[in-house]
Amino acid sequence: MFDYYNLEPLLMWIHRTMCGIMPEWLAFTIEGIAVGIFIMVMYAVLAIILIYMERKVCAAFQCRIGPDRVGGRGGLLQVPADVIKILTKEIIFLKNSDKFLYALAPFLVIMASILTFSCLPWNKGGEILHMNIGIFFVLAASSIGVLGILLAGWSSNSKYTLIGAVRSGAMIISYELSIGISVLTMVILCGTMDIQEIVAYQENGWNIFKGHLPAVMAFIIYLIAGNAEANRAPFDLAEAEQELTAGYHTEYSGMHFGFFYLAEYLNLFITAGIAVTLFLGGWMPLHIAGLEGFNAVMDYIPGVIWFVGKTFFVVFLLMWIRWTFPRLRIDQVLILEWKYLMPLSLLVLIIMTVMKVFGLVF
């Protein structure tokens, strides 16, 4: 077993050292604040990277160059410049909106996103929120987001936002079923809900290989449903620009809008991250059973690079879909879920259970 990059001993050492020079409650408090700041910084940095990536990827699909002025030929400073711009914008409150709910909504959305974000397994011992029902917690926390969207649509007191919110509510609640079932499929395969243990289970082969047929199907279902959860095209009807101008966040401005925007991009990353955790081994390097030398070489690459690399690959897949397909209509979205995806994911769940019971998985 390789352990070069295990973060746990380092973190435990820091904790012990701090407890040695101060009371334990103070150490916990300081550590909590440090981790919180770390999450915020990671969150912002990742958002900037993702927005930049989206711009460049979509430019490539659309025969364009993308940002190329601000910050050298690559336009590297374009997104930071946009972030600074949006920070200086006025936050507008509308006359007939419900002020409290209107202000609360973006925070609910971003809170759900950050909670889910904290559960991602970055590295061995590098998970911020670690609990034995981790994946269940992810599902629970991510559903808070839809509440924020509904509140945003309702409190803005506009017809467009209301239609957007209702669409979003109907869609996200429907697709959570498929996500839940496909996650459950993998939980059955791994026999645990603990995210670190799910990753550890994939030491001698990623789940998508170990679970073969049902795992591949669950992976595809997860990608489709995850795309819908992240409100991205072809499932972006909640903010369908051409129909509802901007859907549920039409009336938001400044950083309030920025929160929705940030959350949208990080949800993309989180969707991809959970997909990687469940199907592609999380931070686990590529291991092929029987090839010891190959496995040992792979182990020299740090887990965090594996995780981020795989996640960005899945993010690229999702962007590819987004920039290729036109948008679905609300009834088609719901038909797709209730008539096709949900029955199919239940079927996959049964197949997986049967195969696990009879030992037909690797």
- Residue 327 interacts with other proteins (CB under 8 A): yes or no: yes
On the CB side of 352, CA atoms within 13 Å amount to 29
Task: At 235, give phi and psi (nearest 5°).
Answer: -110, 25
If the CB atoms of residues 60 and 87 are measured against other proteins, the closer one turns out to be 60
Listed ranges 105-113, 156-164, 198-206, 294-302: which one lies at the site for other proteins (CB under 8 A)? 156-164
- Residue 316 interacts with other proteins (CB under 8 A): yes or no: no
If the CB atoms of residues 90 and 331 are measured against other proteins, the closer one turns out to be 331
- How many beta carbons lie within 10 A of that of residue 11, not counting itself? 14
If the CB atoms of residues 21 and 63 are measured against other proteins, the closer one turns out to be 63
User: Which of 20, 96, 293, 331 is the binder for other proteins (CB under 8 A)?
Assistant: 331
Residue with tokens 């990353």: 269
If the CB atoms of residues 125 and 153 are measured against other proteins, the closer one turns out to be 153
Residue with tokens 């419900």: 98
Residue with tokens 């559903």: 143
- Residue 17 interacts with other proteins (CB under 8 A): yes or no: no
- Residue 2 interacts with other proteins (CB under 8 A): yes or no: no
d(CA 11, CA 83): 32
User: Which of 65, 159, 297, 338 is the binder for other proteins (CB under 8 A)?
Assistant: 159
d(CA 35, CA 128): 8
User: Residue 217 is inside which H or E element, if any?
Assistant: helix 212-229
By rule CB under 8 A, what string of x and - marks binding of each residue 221-240 to other proteins? ------------xx-xx--x
User: Which of 4, 28, 38, 61 is the binder for other proteins (CB under 8 A)?
Assistant: 61
Residue 231, Ramachandran bin (φ over 0: left; ψ between -120 and 50: alpha; else beta): left
Rounded to the nearest whole angstrom, what is the least distance from the CB of residue 56 to other proteins in the complex?
14
If the CB atoms of residues 157 and 353 are measured against other proteins, the closer one turns out to be 157
Residue with tokens 């987004």: 322
Amino acid at position 131, single letter: M
Site for other proteins in 39-58 (CB under 8 A): 58
Rg (CA), the chain: 21
DSSP notation for 239-271: G-HHHHTTGGGTT--HHHHHHHHHHHHHHHHHH
Rounded to the nearest whole angstrom, what is the least distance from the CB of residue 158 to other proteins in the complex?
10
- Residue 16 interacts with other proteins (CB under 8 A): yes or no: no
Rounded to the nearest whole angstrom, what is the least distance from the CB of residue 170 to other proteins in the complex?
10
Listed ranges 14-22, 105-113, 157-165, 247-255: which one lies at the site for other proteins (CB under 8 A)? 157-165
User: Cβ distance 164 to 244 under 8 Å?
Assistant: yes
Residues that bind other proteins (CB under 8 A): 58, 61-64, 159-160, 163, 167, 233-234, 236-237, 240-245, 323-332
